[in-house]
């Protein structure tokens, strides 16, 4: 596809739309918007624009569409697959200044926000009202970025992913058209579900400018559990059996001994460097939680757990979860000067033990250092592969291991990405995963964005 470039003329038009101070071609701003949190190669935009309203975005898109200038929406740039990187240059629309909470509809457990609201901020504000937006990627992501990536996190197991919380959207299409879709009713069978279509579209169809989210009540009782196992197999089989009981933990996280070692180093913790489960259970009373815990303990003990610590207090529980959130930083800290490829696959639960064993053996057999972890209760496997950017051969081997693991997940009936999205890194697996329906996706893309200006080179090769 041939694209137009941004000239002085467009820059002046953008300045007249949003104000001169909201248009930047400064080195540091372009540099900041050339890279997300992944290892993918940087690509700089020609201009970064900070719009304040859907009307401004509409006018910008009309200009861009006419000249075939690429447009990439930007939330907080915390993606892990190159999703917001402006691969073909052009315009980055940084939405961080559209950060107003527009309407608090507590009576319906709903809130209307602009896309630049940071979800942690939203949750701080609603904690006082006993409500929260559960998908929790850990990083300081925006709601717009979370919707566009269909993000999820530690508590998705019980509470669902972002897609389960999006009730209404306002979207600006590349043509400049602004439309609203969805309903405040929590159930509807009315027509095509365009909220779901735009959720996970990674900025390739249009710009999301307003979001109505469902919120969940904060749990009244919780309990946290830490379990160590003597082997990876025991840990992964215990995960499957726990999930087969019908108990739905709020979180069930798996971390192998290598991850725990990196966390101990980075966070000064003294956790046993063995395959470990961090779990959390939410309920409405103590008695129910106790009953669930005794069943979980029985399963872990039958799988030779070497430590079972339940009833962990709030402070220690927060410390453990923070350590889990810092897994990526811990791996980077333990491998200074190296890049970390984060694999993100998900498989049906019954295949989780097989998937973990395959991933570990694949890395071991190729001599690549790997860290296995993930939102295990949802069948989500992450693996951090250490890649030496100065050693071409080793980097190639890292990618071979990556491809084999993702390929295995798809063959097991799973997916190339459980939560990080396709971005740049997962495009090569899309045909394998989706077959014929990839062509249908391409047709949908052409329908909304016939000139291909929205976040080019993402999702599709
Ligand atoms: C340490 C770490 C841990 C993480 N853990 C998790 C995790 O557990 N689960 C998880 O799901 N993710 C995780 N992530 C990835 C990332 O935080 C999420 O994908 C997040 O949703 C990205 O949000 P963002 O605001 O940074 O969006 P960005 O990265 O800026 O953008 C994401 C995508 O959305 C598009 N976009 C942004 N705003 C809009 C908009 N308004 N309209 C249309 N398109 C838009 C962009 O073009 C891009 O394609 C992690 C990241 C890090 C660094």
In this structure, what CATH number is given to the domain that contains residue 341?
3.30.70.2740
208 and 122 within one domain:
yes
Which ligand 1 atom lies nearest to the CA of residue 83?
49
Unique residue bearing structure tokens 């946290």: 224
Which ligand 1 atom lies nearest to the CA of residue 75?
30
277 and 357 within one domain:
no
Q: Percent of the chain beyond pLDDT 90?
A: 96
Tell whether 456 is covered by a domain. Answer: no
Pocket test for ligand 1, best of 77, 120, 149 (most atoms within 8 A of CB): 149
> Residue 111: CB within 6 Å of ligand 1?
no
Q: Where are the beta strands (DSSP E) in 9-122?
A: 23-24, 47-49, 71-74, 91-94, 101-105, 110-113
207 and 142 within one domain:
yes
User: Cα(311) to centroid of ligand 1, in Å?
Assistant: 33
119 and 192 within one domain:
yes
Distance CA 106, CA 126 (A): 9
Q: What is the pLDDT of residues 69-98, one digit of tens each?
A: 999 999 999 999 999 999 999 999 999 999
Q: What are phi and psi of 370, to 5 degrees?
A: -130, 145
Non-local CB neighbours of 168 within 8 Å, separated by 6+ positions: 112, 180, 181, 182, 183, 184, 195, 210, 211, 212
pLDDT mean across residues, the chain: 96
DSSP per-residue codes, 97-117: T---EEEEEGGGTEEEE-TT-
Q: Which of 327, 350, 367 is the last residue of a domain?
A: 327
Non-local CB neighbours of 192 within 8 Å, separated by 6+ positions: none
Distance CA 64, CA 90 (A): 9
Write down the pLDDT at residue 92: 98
The answer to whether the CB of 201 falls within 8 A of the CB of 242 is no
190 and 123 within one domain:
yes
Tell whether 433 is covered by a domain. Answer: no
Q: Where are the beta strands (DSSP E) in 173-321?
A: 178-182, 207-214, 216-217, 221-229, 251-255, 276-283, 305-312
> Residue 139: CB within 6 Å of ligand 1?
yes
Model confidence at 311: pLDDT above 90: no
By C-alpha distance, which of 125, 60, 108 is closest to 216? 108
Tell whether 371 is covered by a domain. Answer: yes
Non-local CB neighbours of 133 within 8 Å, separated by 6+ positions: 111, 119, 122, 123, 126, 143, 165, 213, 215, 216
322 and 346 within one domain:
no
Pocket test for ligand 1, best of 139, 154, 326 (most atoms within 8 A of CB): 139
Q: Which domain holds residue 160?
A: 101-217
Write down the pLDDT at residue 154: 92
> Residue 74: CB within 6 Å of ligand 1?
yes
Taking the model in full, what pTM does it have?
0.97
194 and 162 within one domain:
yes
User: Cα(147) to centroid of ligand 1, in Å?
Assistant: 8
In this structure, what CATH number is given to the domain that contains residue 303?
3.30.70.2190
241 and 207 within one domain:
no
> Residue 140: CB within 6 Å of ligand 1?
no
Tell whether 239 is covered by a domain. Answer: yes
Q: Tell me what the mean pLDDT of segment 330-350 comes to.
A: 96
> Residue 151: CB within 6 Å of ligand 1?
yes
- Indicate the number of domains in the chain: 3
Q: Which tokens sit at 333?
A: 């800290």
> Residue 36: CB within 6 Å of ligand 1?
yes
Which ligand 1 atom lies nearest to the CA of residue 80?
15
Q: For residue 314, what pLDDT band results from cuts at 50, 70 and 90?
A: confident
Count of other CB atoms within 10 angstroms of residue 351: 20
295 and 310 within one domain:
yes
Q: Which of 386, 402, 421 is the last residue of a domain?
A: 421
Tell whether 442 is covered by a domain. Answer: no
Q: For residue 190, what pLDDT band results from cuts at 50, 70 and 90?
A: very high
Q: Which of 217, 244, 277 is the last residue of a domain?
A: 217
Write down the pLDDT at residue 218: 95
Tell whether 312 is covered by a domain. Answer: yes
Tell whether 42 is covered by a domain. Answer: no
406 and 307 within one domain:
no
In this structure, what CATH number is given to the domain that contains residue 184?
3.30.465.10
């Amino acid at each position: 596809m041939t694209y137009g470039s941004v000239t002085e003329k467009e820059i002046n038009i953008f300045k007249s739309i949003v104000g001169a101070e909201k248009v930047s071609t400064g080195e540091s701003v372009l540099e900041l918007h050339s890279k997300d949190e992944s290892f993918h190669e940087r690509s700089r935009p020609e201009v970064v624009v900070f719009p304040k309203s859907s009307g401004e975005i509409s006018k910008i898109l009309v200009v861009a569409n006419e000249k075939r200038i690429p447009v990439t929406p930007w939330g907080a740039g915390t993606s892990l697959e190159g999703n917001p990187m402006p691969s073909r240059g052009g315009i980055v629309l940084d939405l961080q200044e559209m950060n107003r909470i527009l309407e608090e509809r507590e009576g319906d457990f709903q809130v209307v926000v602009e896309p630049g609201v940071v979800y942690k901020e939203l949750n701080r504000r609603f904690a006082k009202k006993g409500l929260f937006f559960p998908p929790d990627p850990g990083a300081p992501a925006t709601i717009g970025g979370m919707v566009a990536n269909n993000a999820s996190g530690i508590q998705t197991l019980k509470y669902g992913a972002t897609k389960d919380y999006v009730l209404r959207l306002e979207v600006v299409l590349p043509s400049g058209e602004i439309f609203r879709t969805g309903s405040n009713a929590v159930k509807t069978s009315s027509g095509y579900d365009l909220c779901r279509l735009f959720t996970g579209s990674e900025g390739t169809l249009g710009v999301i400018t307003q979001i109505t989210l469902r919120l969940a009540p904060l749990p009244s009782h919780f309990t946290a559990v830490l379990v160590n196992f003597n082997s990876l197999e025991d840990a992964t089989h215990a995960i499957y059996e726990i999930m087969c009981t019908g108990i739905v933990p709020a979180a069930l996280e798996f971390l192998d001994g290598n991850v725990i070692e990196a966390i101990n180093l980075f966070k000064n913790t003294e956790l046993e460097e063995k395959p470990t489960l961090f779990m959390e259970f939410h309920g409405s009373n103590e008695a129910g939680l106790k009953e669930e815990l005794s069943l979980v303990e029985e399963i872990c003990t039958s799988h030779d757990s070497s430590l079972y610590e339940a009833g962990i207090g709030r402070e220690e529980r927060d410390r453990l979860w923070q350590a889990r959130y810092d897994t990526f930083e811990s791996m980077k800290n333990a491998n200074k000067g190296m890049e970390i490829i984060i694999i993100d696959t998900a498989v049906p639960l019954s295949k989780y033990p097989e998937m973990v064993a395959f991933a570990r053996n694949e890395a071991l057999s190729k001599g690549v250092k790997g860290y296995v972890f993930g939102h295990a209760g949802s069948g989500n496997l992450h693996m951090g592969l250490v890649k030496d950017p100065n050693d071409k051969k080793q980097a190639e081997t890292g990618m071979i291991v990556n491809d084999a693991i993702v390929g295995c997940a798809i063959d097991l009936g799973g997916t190339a990405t459980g939560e990080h999205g396709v971005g740049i890194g997962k495009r090569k697996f899309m045909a394998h995963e989706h077959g014929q329906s990839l062509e249908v996706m391409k047709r949908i893309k052409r329908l909304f964005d016939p000139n291909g200006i929205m976040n080019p080179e993402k999702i599709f090769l």
